[in-house]
Amino acid sequence: MKFTPLLLGLLLTNLVIGQTWVFEKELSLKDSNYNWTSDEWGQLYQWKDNTVWLQNEQNQQPFQETYKILGDISDIQPINGLRGLLFSENQQMLGLVDNTLQLQEGIIAFYELDFSSVSKIAASSRPDFIWIFDQYRERLILYNFKQAEVIQIVDNCFGGVKDPQIVQFFEYEQNLICALSDGCLYEFDRNLTLVKKLTLMPGLTLFGYQNEIWLQDQNYIEKLKPSVHSVRIELPTSNYQQLQVLQDLFYFQQGQKIKVFRLKM
């Protein structure tokens, strides 16, 4: 069957019409320069230096804690609605907190585990597991922090790339996604076996959504592996400083406000 330009245009129009952005809620940051993320319950973490705030919908005032032992906090990785990981690259330490920001168990000092220069961590969907990248050895580690046990290690994980700079490091569908600043994408399975390597344009943002990896290119998103039925989708706003896709919700930071949208396909 041959498609005329008019028929093809009508088909693509119907596909676009079937995609609707729905506004869900608005969140507030204490300062537009603070770092932030959210967990599966929609609780908002924000942090500056070594102080963290956690806002949930039940309490008007956020929980607040300062962690002098950690120094500057580089990243927060929510595990679920009850626990989160605080990572300090400067101190090479990792802390586990509950949903009131109280430290649980002991601080993990990476230098005591013979990890020289941890630059990235990512929470895993498997309970008590985290992914770790050691910059010095170009080493990926699967670590069980509950048992204090290294499960798997892969050295030279990017094939000997000199001083690789990871710009995105996250798990999706139990696979680890590593995107480098040069546009190279590496995907490892749950046992740290390399299953995919792609070369993309540098600067693209990747995220997991609806069981697939998607990419953001300026004000549009599309599947990394588009099908005959997929099209580029225009974002609901172009006026934002940062976009995060968390738990299938799209978080757009606009100054001190974060607008949250859901995409209905």
**What pLDDT does 14 receive?**
41
Query: Does residue 192 fall inside a structural domain?
Result: no
| Interval 219-242: pLDDT, tens | 999 999 876 667 899 999 999 999
Q: How many helices (H) and strands (E) does the chain have?
A: 1, 24
Query: Does residue 216 fall inside a structural domain?
Result: yes
Query: Does residue 25 fall inside a structural domain?
Result: no
**What pLDDT does 262 receive?**
97
Q: How many CB atoms lie within 10 A of CB 81?
A: 13
> Domain with 240 in it: what CATH number?
2.40.10
Query: Does residue 161 fall inside a structural domain?
Result: no
**What pLDDT does 19 receive?**
87
Contact, 249 vs 236, CB < 8 A?
A: no
**What pLDDT does 137 receive?**
86
- In order, the DSSP letters of 198-261 are EE--TT-EEEEETTEEEEEETTEEEESS--TT---EE-S-S--SEEEEETTEEEEEETTEEEEE
If one counts the domains in the chain, the total is 1
Query: Does residue 249 fall inside a structural domain?
Result: yes
Query: Does residue 214 fall inside a structural domain?
Result: yes
Query: Does residue 217 fall inside a structural domain?
Result: yes
Question: What pTM value is reported for the model?
Answer: 0.89
Kindly state the DSSP code that residue 74 receives in the 8-state scheme.
-
